Amino acid sequence: MRKIININELQSQISKIIKDVQDGNTYEVMRYSEPVAVVLGYEDYLKLKGECHRCIADLRKIAQKAGE
């Protein structure tokens, strides 16, 4: 579940938020009504990081085929 929180709330509730993140929640952190950060669990981060690597590898394969 994605939740929106401002920086002041993040600072005052960091322990609670970290527990929520461990339970699978994600927080979008806002500053002056603008999104500035996302707090997500480590496993979710690894999934995103891995997907990016696969995308880049796929793009390299496509570029190599196009160059042949």
The domain ranges of the chain are: 2-67
pLDDT(37) > 80: yes
Tell me the C-alpha distance between 66 and 68, whole Å.
6
Enumerate residues 6+ apart whose C-beta is below 8 A from 44: 26
Q: Find the mean pLDDT for residues 34-44.
A: 90
pLDDT at 43 over 90: no
What average pLDDT score do residues 42-60 get?
74
What average pLDDT does range 43-66 have in this prediction?
74
CATH 3.40.50.2020: does it fit domain 2-67? no
Residue 51 binned pLDDT confidence (cut-offs 50, 70, 90): low
pTM as predicted: 0.68
Q: What average pLDDT is seen over the chain?
A: 86
Q: Tokens 């002056």 label which residue?
A: 32
